[in-house]
Amino acid sequence: MNIFVSENQVKEILSVSNTVNLLEEAMKSLSTGKGFNSPRKRLPASYNGGNLHFMAASWPEKGIAGHKSYVVANGKATFVVILYSTEGEGLLAVIEANLLGQIRTGAASGLASKYLANKDSKKLAVIGSGFQAETQLEAINSQFNLDEVRVYSRTKEKRDTFVEKMSKKLSIKINPSETSEEATDNCDIISLITSSPIPVISDKQITKGVHINAAGGNNWLRSELSSSSIKKFDFLSCDDINQAKTECKEFMEATEKGITSWNNIHELSNVIDEKIIGRKNVEDITLYESLGIAIQDIAAAKYIYDQLK
């Protein structure tokens, strides 16, 4: 095989629903000690702002290790995932990873919803209607029998375009909402997928029984929920606690203010591995802060490599 894998090849090989399964096994490995994840780090890439981001993981059980890195600077983002064999086969693949990132981020919310939302969840709200919102919807839809999806974002044209595109793709009922409140009203699952620096839902919108994925921001300048809202949740989780301590504004602010403590925040891997119970009651309110971690990237990369081989 050619060691380079293009976005088009990723598109052909990697489905959102299958990636939920890949991530389930990969993230569980972090709890069982069969996989290892290193939090994202950043270095300044430009005097105009922007960073080099790099994050690594290894999964000895599967004979792989690797990393994602990307530069976001001067209006351009370039994502690359590198996959190595740890069993003597050397460099396996160099993968263009913009689409891979979109798919695994959606899949992570699908996986978190599978473990934390009520099993009979029917109604989903998606706040945000950009590139990343598509896979949030697709992944969660793959795990539940949804009968209604509502979408809100600030620009009417964008949400209407999103609704049209995704209705065709998934053949389910998707409604655009005029307000964030209208979108989340009586929903079982809410996915927040914006780049907002301020809360996109109010504390009042967080109601009994709901599961929320906060998947939009991965740096401490962005938050989609208020820190005060954190006390409403019966279960708080994220993908990587150490990464959350430098990237997750909601948790950083809530722990700083004494609204919660890091001891009350759990990694999803431990829920998958049944070391802890996430949702205990139908009325529990649960939160998954999705920052995006490297073991997700290398799990997807391994699947792509295996299919191409």
| Site for its own copies, rule CB under 8 A | 3-4, 36-38, 41, 43-47, 50-52, 54, 56-58, 60, 63, 65-67, 69-71, 73-76, 78, 80, 82, 84-91, 94
Residue closer to its own copies by CB (options 25, 61) is: 61
HSE (side-chain half, CA atoms, 13 Å) at 219: 8
| Shortest Å, Cβ 179 to its own copies | 37
With respect to its own copies, which residue has the nearer C-beta, 37 or 118? 37
| 14 vs 298, beta carbon nearer its own copies | 298
The residue among 285 and 295 lying less far from its own copies, judged by its C-beta, is 295
Rounded to whole angstroms, how far apart are CA atoms 266 and 206? 20
CA distances from 301 to 23, 57, 104, 221 (A): 11, 12, 10, 29
The least distance separating its own copies from the CB of residue 19, rounded to whole angstroms, comes to: 22
Distance in Å, CB of 35 to its own copies, minimum: 9
The helix or strand, by DSSP H or E, that contains position 65, with its residue range, turns out to be strand 64-73
Joined together, the tokens standing for residue 162 give 């999103």
What does the alpha-carbon distance between residue 233 and residue 249 come to, in Å, rounded to a whole number? 16
Angle, CA of 66, 72 and 77, to the nearest 5°: 80
Token pair for 114: 């599978």
Q: Distances from the Cα of 89 to the Cαs of 63, 70, 83, in angstroms? A: 10, 25, 11
Least Å from the CB of residue 308 to its own copies: 16
Give the nearest distance from C-beta 61 to its own copies in angstroms.
Answer: 8
Nearer to its own copies, 75 or 258 (CB): 75
Total count of residues recorded for the chain: 309
Place of tokens 């590198």: 82
State which residue, 13 or 73, has the beta carbon closest to its own copies. 73
CB of 293 to its own copies, least distance (A): 12
